[in-house]
Amino acid sequence: MNHRGVTLWFTGLSGAGKTTITQALKEKLLAENCKLEVLDGDIVRTNLTKGLGFSKEDRDENIRRIGFVSQLLTRNGVIVLVSAISPYRAVRQEVRGKIGDFVEVYVNAPLATCEERDVKGLYKRARAGEIKQFTGISDPYEPPEAPEIECRTDLEELSESVDKVWNKLVELKYLMP
C-alpha cells in the first residue's frame, strides 16, 4: 500500500479507548506494510518527557515534545499514531500547525464510561484526592471543536472506530490502496 506521512492524534479522557484503537489500527497498517510509529502518552512520559509533572505548563510541554517527534517522522513519510490525553485545545492546535499533515481523532466516551473502564484505578484515586490535577476530575479536558474523526467508543464497536479512521485516511489520500 502506498501512503504519505501523517500524524493521527488520538485525544480523549483516560479510559476512552485511545490506546485500544491505536493498537488495532497499528496491526491493520502493518498488515499493509505501512511505515509507522506509535507514540503512546504513558510510554512517552517514562522516556522522552521524563521529569515533567502534570501542571498545565508541563502538560503543554509534553505535547509539544510529542509533536516535535511526530513532525520529524511525518515529514519523512511515516504514519505516526499518537495516543495522548492532550487535554488542552490550544496546544493541540499549535502542534497541528507545526506538523501540517495532522488528523485529529477525538476518542469520545462519557466520564462515567471511562471510570467504569478504569483498570489502573486512577479515577478512584483521583476522586479520593490521592491524585491531583487528574484530567476530567480536578483538571479540565477541552474536547476538540472540529476533529476530522470522532470515535464514540461507548456506542460503537472497536472495528467501527478503526474503519472510521482508515476510511478517513483513504479519503484524505494518506492511504492509497
pLDDT, residue 83, reads 97
What's the pLDDT band for 54 if we cut at 50, 70, 90?
Answer: confident
Strand 6-11 relative to strand 79-83, pairing: parallel
- How large is the average pLDDT for residues 115-144? 92
Question: How crowded is residue 114: how many other Cβ atoms within 10 Å of its Cβ?
Answer: 22
With a cut of 80, say whether residue 49 has pLDDT above it: no
* pLDDT single digits (tens) 124-136: 999 999 998 899 9
Annotated ligand binding at 97? The verdict is: no
Grid-cell match 504519505, residue found: 4
pLDDT, residue 106, reads 98
Annotated ligand binding at 16? The verdict is: yes
Annotated ligand binding at 161? The verdict is: no
Cell, residue 170: 483513504
With a cut of 90, say whether residue 2 has pLDDT above it: yes
What's the pLDDT band for 119 if we cut at 50, 70, 90?
Answer: confident
- How large is the average pLDDT for residues 141-158? 97
User: Which residues participate in catalysis according to the annotation?
Assistant: 86
Cα 100 to Cα 87: distance, rounded to the nearest angstrom: 20
With a cut of 90, say whether residue 44 has pLDDT above it: no
Backbone angles phi, psi at 152, to 5 degrees: -95, 90
Which amino acid is located at 17 in the chain? G
With a cut of 80, say whether residue 159 has pLDDT above it: yes
Average pLDDT, the chain: 94
